[in-house]
Amino acid sequence: MPKITYKSAEEIELIRESSLLVSKTHAEVAKVIKEGVSTAYLNKIAEEFIRDHKAVPAFLNYNGFPYTLCISLNDQVVHGFPSEYILKDGDIVSVDCGVIKNKYFGDSAYTFTIGNIAEETQKLLDVTKECLALGIEKAVVGSRIGDIGFAVQEHAEKNGFGVVRELVGHGVGRALHEKPEVPNYGKRGSGIKLEEGMVLAIEPMINAGRAGVKFWDDGWTVSTIDQKPSAHFEHTVAIKKGKADVLSTFEYVEEVLNKK
Protein backbone atom coordinates (compact mmCIF):
# COMPACT_ATOMS: atom_id res chain seq x y z
CA MET A 1 0.00 0.00 0.00
CA PRO A 2 1.38 3.44 -0.87
CA LYS A 3 2.06 5.62 2.15
CA ILE A 4 0.32 8.83 3.12
CA THR A 5 1.82 11.79 1.27
CA TYR A 6 2.20 15.04 3.21
CA LYS A 7 1.73 18.22 1.18
CA SER A 8 3.71 21.44 1.33
CA ALA A 9 1.93 24.81 1.61
CA GLU A 10 2.51 25.30 -2.15
CA GLU A 11 0.95 21.94 -2.96
CA ILE A 12 -2.05 22.74 -0.76
CA GLU A 13 -2.59 25.94 -2.77
CA LEU A 14 -2.62 23.89 -5.98
CA ILE A 15 -5.15 21.49 -4.48
CA ARG A 16 -7.20 24.53 -3.42
CA GLU A 17 -7.15 25.82 -7.00
CA SER A 18 -8.44 22.47 -8.28
CA SER A 19 -11.01 22.21 -5.49
CA LEU A 20 -12.34 25.72 -6.18
CA LEU A 21 -12.69 24.85 -9.85
CA VAL A 22 -14.80 21.86 -8.80
CA SER A 23 -16.86 24.20 -6.60
CA LYS A 24 -17.40 26.57 -9.54
CA THR A 25 -18.37 23.61 -11.73
CA HIS A 26 -21.08 22.77 -9.19
CA ALA A 27 -22.32 26.36 -9.54
CA GLU A 28 -22.52 25.92 -13.34
CA VAL A 29 -24.58 22.79 -12.78
CA ALA A 30 -26.77 24.73 -10.34
CA LYS A 31 -27.56 27.30 -13.06
CA VAL A 32 -29.14 24.71 -15.36
CA ILE A 33 -30.39 21.92 -13.11
CA LYS A 34 -34.20 21.76 -13.02
CA GLU A 35 -37.19 19.62 -13.84
CA GLY A 36 -37.14 18.60 -17.53
CA VAL A 37 -33.34 18.59 -17.98
CA SER A 38 -31.40 15.38 -18.67
CA THR A 39 -28.54 14.38 -16.42
CA ALA A 40 -26.38 13.93 -19.56
CA TYR A 41 -26.79 17.67 -20.16
CA LEU A 42 -25.40 18.43 -16.69
CA ASN A 43 -22.39 16.27 -17.53
CA LYS A 44 -21.85 18.16 -20.80
CA ILE A 45 -22.01 21.57 -19.07
CA ALA A 46 -19.52 20.42 -16.44
CA GLU A 47 -17.04 18.94 -18.90
CA GLU A 48 -17.04 22.08 -21.08
CA PHE A 49 -16.60 24.35 -18.05
CA ILE A 50 -13.66 22.33 -16.70
CA ARG A 51 -11.91 22.21 -20.08
CA ASP A 52 -12.54 25.96 -20.61
CA HIS A 53 -10.54 26.47 -17.41
CA LYS A 54 -7.54 24.52 -18.69
CA ALA A 55 -8.20 21.56 -16.45
CA VAL A 56 -9.10 17.92 -17.01
CA PRO A 57 -12.17 16.12 -15.64
CA ALA A 58 -10.65 13.75 -13.07
CA PHE A 59 -13.33 11.08 -13.12
CA LEU A 60 -13.47 10.69 -16.92
CA ASN A 61 -11.58 7.47 -17.75
CA TYR A 62 -10.63 6.94 -14.08
CA ASN A 63 -10.49 3.13 -13.89
CA GLY A 64 -12.67 3.29 -16.99
CA PHE A 65 -15.42 5.54 -15.56
CA PRO A 66 -17.03 6.99 -18.71
CA TYR A 67 -18.17 10.49 -17.61
CA THR A 68 -17.04 13.80 -16.10
CA LEU A 69 -19.63 13.70 -13.31
CA CYS A 70 -20.95 10.95 -11.10
CA ILE A 71 -24.68 11.65 -11.02
CA SER A 72 -26.56 9.58 -8.48
CA LEU A 73 -30.35 9.93 -8.29
CA ASN A 74 -32.60 9.26 -5.31
CA ASP A 75 -31.78 5.74 -4.07
CA GLN A 76 -28.43 5.78 -5.87
CA VAL A 77 -25.64 6.43 -3.39
CA VAL A 78 -22.64 7.28 -5.58
CA HIS A 79 -20.96 6.58 -8.95
CA GLY A 80 -24.17 6.83 -11.01
CA PHE A 81 -23.94 7.50 -14.76
CA PRO A 82 -25.26 10.65 -16.42
CA SER A 83 -27.97 9.56 -18.87
CA GLU A 84 -30.98 10.63 -20.91
CA TYR A 85 -33.05 10.42 -17.71
CA ILE A 86 -35.13 13.59 -17.42
CA LEU A 87 -35.15 15.14 -13.95
CA LYS A 88 -38.56 15.36 -12.34
CA ASP A 89 -40.21 17.04 -9.38
CA GLY A 90 -39.17 15.42 -6.10
CA ASP A 91 -35.83 13.99 -7.31
CA ILE A 92 -32.60 14.41 -5.39
CA VAL A 93 -29.40 14.42 -7.42
CA SER A 94 -25.92 13.85 -6.03
CA VAL A 95 -23.36 15.48 -8.32
CA ASP A 96 -19.80 14.38 -7.57
CA CYS A 97 -17.04 16.15 -9.49
CA GLY A 98 -13.26 16.02 -9.62
CA VAL A 99 -10.70 17.92 -11.65
CA ILE A 100 -6.97 17.76 -12.31
CA LYS A 101 -5.15 21.04 -12.76
CA ASN A 102 -1.37 21.55 -12.51
CA LYS A 103 -1.15 17.80 -11.72
CA TYR A 104 -3.23 18.16 -8.51
CA PHE A 105 -6.74 16.90 -7.87
CA GLY A 106 -9.78 18.46 -6.24
CA ASP A 107 -12.90 16.50 -5.27
CA SER A 108 -16.30 17.65 -4.00
CA ALA A 109 -19.91 16.48 -4.09
CA TYR A 110 -23.24 18.25 -3.62
CA THR A 111 -26.76 16.85 -3.52
CA PHE A 112 -29.31 18.99 -5.40
CA THR A 113 -33.10 18.95 -5.09
CA ILE A 114 -35.62 19.21 -7.92
CA GLY A 115 -38.89 21.02 -7.14
CA ASN A 116 -40.63 19.89 -3.99
CA ILE A 117 -39.05 17.00 -2.17
CA ALA A 118 -40.48 14.95 0.68
CA GLU A 119 -39.98 16.43 4.16
CA GLU A 120 -38.09 13.35 5.32
CA THR A 121 -35.78 13.60 2.29
CA GLN A 122 -35.03 17.25 3.08
CA LYS A 123 -34.14 16.18 6.62
CA LEU A 124 -31.77 13.56 5.16
CA LEU A 125 -30.03 16.25 3.11
CA ASP A 126 -29.78 18.63 6.06
CA VAL A 127 -28.41 15.95 8.37
CA THR A 128 -25.89 14.72 5.78
CA LYS A 129 -24.56 18.25 5.31
CA GLU A 130 -24.37 18.62 9.11
CA CYS A 131 -22.46 15.31 9.25
CA LEU A 132 -19.92 16.76 6.81
CA ALA A 133 -19.51 19.89 8.95
CA LEU A 134 -19.10 17.78 12.12
CA GLY A 135 -16.51 15.59 10.39
CA ILE A 136 -14.60 18.67 9.22
CA GLU A 137 -14.58 19.99 12.83
CA LYS A 138 -12.53 16.92 13.73
CA ALA A 139 -10.12 17.31 10.80
CA VAL A 140 -7.46 19.01 12.90
CA VAL A 141 -4.01 18.21 14.24
CA GLY A 142 -4.35 16.02 17.31
CA SER A 143 -7.47 14.17 16.17
CA ARG A 144 -7.42 10.65 14.79
CA ILE A 145 -9.13 9.41 11.67
CA GLY A 146 -11.71 7.60 13.83
CA ASP A 147 -12.78 10.91 15.37
CA ILE A 148 -14.05 12.05 11.97
CA GLY A 149 -15.98 8.82 11.40
CA PHE A 150 -17.37 8.85 14.93
CA ALA A 151 -18.69 12.41 14.54
CA VAL A 152 -20.37 11.60 11.22
CA GLN A 153 -21.84 8.29 12.38
CA GLU A 154 -23.14 9.58 15.69
CA HIS A 155 -25.06 12.44 14.07
CA ALA A 156 -26.49 10.31 11.24
CA GLU A 157 -27.63 7.49 13.51
CA LYS A 158 -29.02 9.86 16.16
CA ASN A 159 -31.36 11.03 13.40
CA GLY A 160 -32.35 7.49 12.45
CA PHE A 161 -30.31 7.31 9.23
CA GLY A 162 -27.95 4.62 7.92
CA VAL A 163 -24.23 5.19 7.33
CA VAL A 164 -22.77 3.57 4.22
CA ARG A 165 -19.78 1.39 5.15
CA GLU A 166 -18.62 0.10 1.76
CA LEU A 167 -17.42 3.48 0.44
CA VAL A 168 -15.24 5.96 2.27
CA GLY A 169 -13.42 9.27 1.98
CA HIS A 170 -9.73 9.41 1.10
CA GLY A 171 -6.53 11.40 0.82
CA VAL A 172 -6.28 13.78 -2.16
CA GLY A 173 -3.19 15.11 -3.90
CA ARG A 174 -1.40 14.04 -7.06
CA ALA A 175 -3.79 11.09 -7.11
CA LEU A 176 -7.58 11.17 -6.76
CA HIS A 177 -7.64 8.47 -4.11
CA GLU A 178 -4.68 8.43 -1.74
CA LYS A 179 -4.13 6.99 1.69
CA PRO A 180 -5.59 7.20 4.28
CA GLU A 181 -9.13 5.96 3.95
CA VAL A 182 -11.62 8.21 5.76
CA PRO A 183 -14.59 6.10 6.89
CA ASN A 184 -17.88 7.72 7.86
CA TYR A 185 -18.06 5.48 10.91
CA GLY A 186 -15.60 4.70 13.64
CA LYS A 187 -14.49 4.83 17.22
CA ARG A 188 -13.33 7.98 18.94
CA GLY A 189 -9.56 8.09 19.33
CA SER A 190 -8.96 5.22 16.87
CA GLY A 191 -6.91 5.11 13.69
CA ILE A 192 -3.99 7.18 12.51
CA LYS A 193 -3.19 10.61 13.92
CA LEU A 194 -4.03 13.60 11.76
CA GLU A 195 -1.08 15.81 10.97
CA GLU A 196 -0.40 19.04 9.15
CA GLY A 197 0.17 18.40 5.44
CA MET A 198 -2.57 15.78 5.14
CA VAL A 199 -5.33 16.61 2.66
CA LEU A 200 -8.51 14.57 2.95
CA ALA A 201 -11.78 14.24 1.05
CA ILE A 202 -14.45 13.88 3.72
CA GLU A 203 -17.65 12.58 2.16
CA PRO A 204 -20.55 11.27 4.23
CA MET A 205 -22.89 9.00 2.26
CA ILE A 206 -26.02 8.74 4.39
CA ASN A 207 -29.12 6.65 3.69
CA ALA A 208 -32.66 7.52 4.74
CA GLY A 209 -33.21 3.88 5.70
CA ARG A 210 -30.86 0.96 6.15
CA ALA A 211 -27.11 1.30 5.71
CA GLY A 212 -26.86 -1.55 3.19
CA VAL A 213 -25.98 -0.93 -0.45
CA LYS A 214 -25.87 -2.96 -3.66
CA PHE A 215 -23.41 -2.72 -6.54
CA TRP A 216 -24.91 -2.65 -10.02
CA ASP A 217 -23.64 -4.82 -12.84
CA ASP A 218 -22.72 -1.69 -14.84
CA GLY A 219 -19.61 -1.95 -12.65
CA TRP A 220 -20.13 1.47 -11.03
CA THR A 221 -23.54 2.50 -9.73
CA VAL A 222 -24.15 1.92 -6.02
CA SER A 223 -27.70 2.14 -4.63
CA THR A 224 -29.48 1.49 -1.35
CA ILE A 225 -30.73 -2.03 -0.67
CA ASP A 226 -34.09 -0.78 0.59
CA GLN A 227 -34.48 1.71 -2.30
CA LYS A 228 -34.84 4.63 0.08
CA PRO A 229 -32.99 7.84 -0.81
CA SER A 230 -29.33 8.49 -0.10
CA ALA A 231 -27.47 11.82 0.20
CA HIS A 232 -23.83 12.74 -0.36
CA PHE A 233 -21.87 15.90 0.43
CA GLU A 234 -18.08 16.12 0.12
CA HIS A 235 -15.31 18.64 0.70
CA THR A 236 -11.56 18.45 0.19
CA VAL A 237 -9.89 19.73 3.38
CA ALA A 238 -6.35 20.34 4.63
CA ILE A 239 -5.56 19.33 8.20
CA LYS A 240 -4.48 22.30 10.31
CA LYS A 241 -3.98 23.12 13.96
CA GLY A 242 -7.20 24.35 15.56
CA LYS A 243 -9.41 24.47 12.45
CA ALA A 244 -9.38 22.62 9.13
CA ASP A 245 -8.72 24.57 5.95
CA VAL A 246 -11.65 23.67 3.68
CA LEU A 247 -10.28 23.83 0.13
CA SER A 248 -13.57 23.37 -1.74
CA THR A 249 -16.67 25.45 -0.96
CA PHE A 250 -20.45 25.34 -1.36
CA GLU A 251 -20.60 29.15 -1.48
CA TYR A 252 -20.70 29.36 -5.28
CA VAL A 253 -23.33 26.67 -5.73
CA GLU A 254 -25.53 28.02 -2.94
CA GLU A 255 -25.28 31.58 -4.24
CA VAL A 256 -26.80 30.33 -7.51
CA LEU A 257 -29.43 28.16 -5.79
CA ASN A 258 -30.51 30.93 -3.41
CA LYS A 259 -31.24 33.22 -6.37
CA LYS A 260 -33.44 30.66 -8.11
Residues that bind Mg ion (CB under 5 A): 96, 107, 109, 201, 203, 234
d(CA 58, CA 46): 12
Closer CB to Mg ion, residue 107 or residue 178? 107
Tell me the backbone φ, ψ of residue 137, rounded to 5 degrees: -60, -30
In single-letter form, the type of residue at position 115 comes to G
Closer CB to Mg ion, residue 87 or residue 182? 182
Q: What is the DSSP annotation of 64-86?
A: G--SSEEEEETTEEE-PPP-SPB
Whole-number minimum distance, CB 116 to Mg ion, in Å? 27
Whole-number minimum distance, CB 59 to Mg ion, in Å? 8
Would you report the helix, strand and coil content of the chain in percent, each value rounded to 5? 30, 25, 40
Whole-number minimum distance, CB 211 to Mg ion, in Å? 19
- Buried b / exposed e along 192-210 (16+ C-beta atoms within 10 A): eebeebbbbbbbbbbbbbe
Whole-number minimum distance, CB 196 to Mg ion, in Å? 21
Closer CB to Mg ion, residue 178 or residue 203? 203
Contact 246, 100 (CB under 8 A): no
Please choose, from the candidates 178, 250, 253, 245, the residue with its C-alpha nearest in 3D space to the C-alpha of residue 13: 245
Whole-number minimum distance, CB 22 to Mg ion, in Å? 8
Closer CB to Mg ion, residue 98 or residue 119? 98
Closer CB to Mg ion, residue 161 or residue 233? 233
Strand partners, 215: 222
In single-letter form, the type of residue at position 251 comes to E
Whole-number minimum distance, CB 170 to Mg ion, in Å? 6
Closer CB to Mg ion, residue 18 or residue 84? 18
